[in-house]
Structure 1
Amino acid sequence: MLDALIWYIAIQTLGILAFPATFLIFKRLPDRGFTLIKPAALIFFSYVLWMLGLSHIAPNSQITLITVLVVAVPPSIFLLRKNLTDIKDFIRQNWCVLASAEILFLGFFLIWLAIISEVPAINHTEKPMDFAFMNAVLQSRYFPPEDPWLSGNAISYYYFGHFIMAFVTQLSGVSSNIGYNLSVALVPALVAVGTFGLIYNLVRLSGGTLKSGIIFGSISPVLIFLAGNLAGAMEFIHVQDWGSDGFWEWIGIKGLDGSNTGSGLFPDNQWWWFRASRVIDTLSDGQSLDYTITEFPIFSFILGDLHPHMISLPFVVLGLGLILNLYLSNEKLGLAWFRHNTIEAAGLAIFIGSLAFINIWDLPVIAGLLCGAALIKTYGDYGGNLTEALVNTATAVGPILILGVMLFLPF
């Protein structure tokens, strides 16, 4: 429990340091990016450490991490003092939103700690691979870390998500096995608070009240990642012995056939829940012909494999928040916008660029959404002139995407 408390304090410290900067970057969002400060801070400080280690300027150590945070204190205080009146007014007017967000974050963090505590072992499914990557980062004096599978070679994989979790592990001083499980609990907590903020902002921007924003924002984590694909409902129906053999053949989930395999509410097989991630399949005489993996958030969180597609979820939400913030700009997009909003553009570049390093498959999705949102905005800004909209979208978004790639070229 002490390790979890230290980890929680470390995450909050990073968020506090980043808040004055995110308050300015997310200036158009009703929550001023408060619900996104934790993933934003994780990316920024991890990137600084990665570049220091990659350039051999400073070794990968707890002392280096603490030094980086200490160096970040003066500019954070400067921004805080410079915008103190606005920040005070914001906190006074939105304290219930901020409190709701923190309660949600802590609540989901504790819930997943309780779930993980039932089976904390890191010795099944693909956990050992993710654990090996985390340890490779922790044991590296400089970067890139050595590939645990191919001695003498650097990791040839998008490992920044593992790097981020190793960063917090080293900062908090917990052992790597504890850090792994705390990381698994951290991700759903970050997703919960991030989706809360995203929906809250959309409700408020649509004219909803603060109360309605909090209510719908609080419901969003349930709909976004607690809801599954109804395979659980099928399991319940099956264990009650409802439905004919023909019905279950039509459902076509391997292992769910006409015979009951349990009693009460749950099946006897302890891996029954795993079937929910394999619902798309073609069966022939009970054998799979296309064993398609269809994971969804709550399945990944329960399974606890610290894969890139799981770690990336809160950072995808961060990307959506950045895109929404850009879309709300009162200025016309183009080179002038880029010059007047340099810090925001740099933030977009580093945060969106990092997605390729965390889970490369998310980059085209977020980049496409960014281009689409910018094009819709410029189309309206320039009176429906598609040519002008395309040109100004390219001049505003193009440098952001190019810079995002350049920042992570060493990867």
Structure 2
Amino acid sequence: MLTPEFQILSVASWLVVVTFLQLSLFPSLKKCLGQYAFPASFAASLLIFTLLTWYCGLVQIPIQIALVPFILLFGYHIYHRNYAWNELRKEWKWELIFLIFFFLMLTVRFVNPTISYAEKFMDHGFLASIMRSPIVLPLDPWFAGGSMDVYYYLGYWIFGCLGIISGVPSNIAFNLSLPTVLGIAAVMVYAIGSMLLERFRWLPLLLFFLPNPSLIYQIILGNPLSTALWNSSRTITNTINEYPLFSFTWGDLHAHVISIFNQVFFIFLLIYLYKYWESLEARSKWLICGLAALSLGSMPLINTWDVLIFAPITIIIAALIIFRGWKKGLDYSSWVQLVLIPPLSVLIYLPFYIVLKTSTGGIGIVKIPSDPIQFLLVNGWFISIFLLFLIKDIRERPYLLIIVVPFILTGYFAAAIAAIPLIYFIAKKERSVPDILAIFGLLILILVELFYLKDNMGDTYFRMNTVFKCYVPAWIILSISAFSMIGIWFAKPGRIPVLPAKKSAALAVLVIGVLFVIPFFVPLNLNYGGWTLDGLSYLDTTHPGDAGGVAYLRNLTGDERIVEAVGGDYTYYSRISSFTGIPAILGEPFHEFMWRGDTTGWYSARPADIRSIYENPDQTISLMKKYNATLLYVGDLESQTYNVSLPATGLEQVYSGQGTTIYRIAG
């Protein structure tokens, strides 16, 4: 296990890099974003840094070169005295929010840090592969000779490059990444709350703490918390319906979680454009639309599903702004920047699309929609809140309820439930920003009830990924909308009095203190151990042979490929490639099948060749050379899986310890 001192230095180094990037950009955004420049610079600087490092990787130059523009920008602002202390002091609340949420999530990871179950093998494998060899295309650690041209990998690239720059190894960077995602997302959500609310600006932050009704129901049934938490994310039959509280607590550094900071940043930019477009100068419009294009353009590479949701929303928001300007008599020159957001978003990462090999099976119609009770156990809070605020509208125009009839007659009862508040929000004569957000969120829920994207998940789980990837942005949008409506209602005269500043501060300290204590009393480590930020420390006690072998391999540099045992997904198989980032002949087979298909027959050929490497000494060397494998790993799992029989010549032992032996092809 890495020493506590090294872990503390890793956290400090990581935060220094993140803060340096943010401060370098902050003054450049002040003219166009005003009071929101400081929070926006957290996400914007990270996305710009990512873009620069990605192109460094594309042309295969050191990614450290991406720091040069930030260094120059920082020097420029120092020279022009743009870091006046009196002005920086005014931004303390944004920095405080980032640090509170960063360290809150860091506490959760400290208690449960292990890279040990669910998608964590994949997440760390991608992260470690990028940190070993930060090139574009990144190497696929589970398919020797293959690259990540079949999957969206930019989220891992972001934090892999932060790890490289800050000198933090992947097994700690893994546990610093989600705290960074949550910290930046929280800052942006608070910025949105500040734009939409005069008081109770913190209310939208509850989206990160809100459980779905199913979790409450599971606890009432008497299930243990860990079981209740898991079941609450699998409420709708044969689907995954994650929400932020579950996702961050569960701790997978997966694409749908990484993307949350970018989703919230993009929502912030769209709301800002919608509220202030006519008052912005041309230069500010270009800059903000450029940031929107960067954010939208990053979505296909971070979590492709997001762009399917936010690209149409972008077009609708742009259309609303243009229509509003048209009614005011403004000419086309006042909205040309909006029209350029979608094409610019594609151009920014155009090389990604040129080499992309993945595809979907098209759009299908959902024939087995969600059970309405299960639907409400996931989305019931939002539906209830919206209906409460729409009671007057429903009483005045009950005839609009006819909208649910087609859904009921065709058996789409869950869609009918969501359609009720939707039609009343649409029918409003004057719609606020929370109303518009509610429309978007409800539309997502309805569309997911009617359509799905086809993939290789089979007939039973045909819509699992569609619900999985669409429900997270829907939750974010619906939460911001619902909590903003509640905040507006609370702020009305006579509802909730304004607390004195000292009492407000004391209450905030108390709540934050309780939040930091909770992770230490909630049994979420699944008996893997914790109290460290080293995600691989558990190997020292559970798999000591692998602990030594992995430590040896993680110190190797250069172009290596390894042979290890292959077995089922979501098991301890694929652990060496996952822990080191060194490509194996084959890692988790079903994941690779989902991404690549099996047009060449590799799905059966590679496992058979791996077995022959271990069991047929006459074929060991030739089959290793077939895949350009340089290393052969023999640990407890390999000995249990195969009748290991290796050739007397052609391999040289380079490591041995506690039942693990590693060989290299001689010469």
TM-score, length basis structure 2: 0.48
Are 1:344 and 2:288 counterparts?
yes
Give the equivalent residue in structure 2 for 1:319.
266
Is the Cα–Cα contact under 8 Å of residues 160 and 358 in structure 1 kept in the other structure? yes
Q: Name the CA shift for 1:161/1:52 in 2 (closer, same or farther; >3 Å).
A: same
**Partner AA of 2:288 in structure 1:** E
SS at match of 2:143: coil
CA–CA separation in structure 1 for the residues paired with 2:88 and 2:80: 16
Give the equivalent residue in structure 1 for 2:444.
none
**Partner AA of 2:145 in structure 1:** G
**Partner AA of 2:216 in structure 1:** A
1:121 to 106, 114, 117: 114
Is the Cα–Cα contact under 8 Å of residues 185 and 264 in structure 2 kept in the other structure? yes
Deviations 1:174-204 (A, max 9, x none): 110100011122222222111011111222x
Is the Cα–Cα contact under 8 Å of residues 135 and 166 in structure 1 kept in the other structure? yes
Are 1:170 and 2:164 counterparts?
yes
Q: Name the CA shift for 1:372/1:177 in 2 (closer, same or farther; >3 Å).
A: same
2:195 to 201, 212, 230: 201
1:72 to 40, 49, 70: 70
Is the Cα–Cα contact under 8 Å of residues 22 and 37 in structure 1 kept in the other structure? yes
CA–CA separation in structure 1 for the residues paired with 2:247 and 2:277: 39
CA–CA separation in structure 1 for the residues paired with 2:120 and 2:92: 34
Q: How does 1:145-294 map to 2 (within 5 A)?
A: 145-155=138-148, 156-203=150-197, 208=198, 212=199, 216-222=200-206, 224-239=207-222, 267=224, 270-281=226-237, 291-294=238-241
Which of 294-303 and 38-47 deviates more? Answer: 38-47
CA–CA separation in structure 1 for the residues paired with 2:47 and 2:277: 27
Is the Cα–Cα contact under 8 Å of residues 286 and 337 in structure 2 kept in the other structure? no
Q: Name the CA shift for 1:140/1:393 in 2 (closer, same or farther; >3 Å).
A: farther
CA–CA separation in structure 1 for the residues paired with 2:40 and 2:279: 25
How many Å apart are 1:271 and its aligned residue? Answer: 3.2
Q: Name the CA shift for 1:364/1:397 in 2 (closer, same or farther; >3 Å).
A: farther
CA–CA separation in structure 2 for the residues paired with 1:89 and 1:369: 39
**Partner AA of 1:397 in structure 2:** L
CA–CA separation in structure 1 for the residues paired with 2:81 and 2:273: 21
How many Å apart are 1:293 and its aligned residue? Answer: 0.6
CA–CA separation in structure 1 for the residues paired with 2:181 and 2:75: 28
Is the Cα–Cα contact under 8 Å of residues 102 and 179 in structure 2 kept in the other structure? yes
CA–CA separation in structure 1 for the residues paired with 2:92 and 2:70: 25
Is the Cα–Cα contact under 8 Å of residues 322 and 335 in structure 2 kept in the other structure? no
Q: Name the CA shift for 1:305/1:340 in 2 (closer, same or farther; >3 Å).
A: closer
* Aligned length, in residue pairs: 344
Which of 169-178 and 68-77 deviates more? Answer: 68-77
Give the equivalent residue in structure 2 for 1:43.
47
Q: Name the CA shift for 1:81/1:219 in 2 (closer, same or farther; >3 Å).
A: farther
Name stretches of at least 5 consecutive residues in structure 1 with no aligned partner: 240-260, 262-266, 282-290
How many Å apart are 1:46 and its aligned residue? Answer: 1.3
**Partner AA of 1:36 in structure 2:** A
How many Å apart are 1:330 and its aligned residue? Answer: 4.9
Percent sequence identity is 28
Name stretches of at least 5 consecutive residues in structure 2 with no aligned partner: 1-7, 353-667
Deviations 1:91-122 (A, max 9, x none): 56xx2xx2222222211211222211222110
How many Å apart are 1:74 and its aligned residue? Answer: 2.7
Give the equivalent residue in structure 1 for 2:340.
399
Is the Cα–Cα contact under 8 Å of residues 31 and 284 in structure 2 kept in the other structure? no
Is the Cα–Cα contact under 8 Å of residues 39 and 318 in structure 1 kept in the other structure? yes
Are 1:7 and 2:14 counterparts?
yes
SS at match of 2:201: helix
Which of 147-156 and 291-300 deviates more? Answer: 147-156
Deviations 1:60-118 (A, max 9, x none): 4xxx2xx4324423334435666849x778656xx2xx222222221121122221122
Q: Name the CA shift for 1:326/1:377 in 2 (closer, same or farther; >3 Å).
A: same
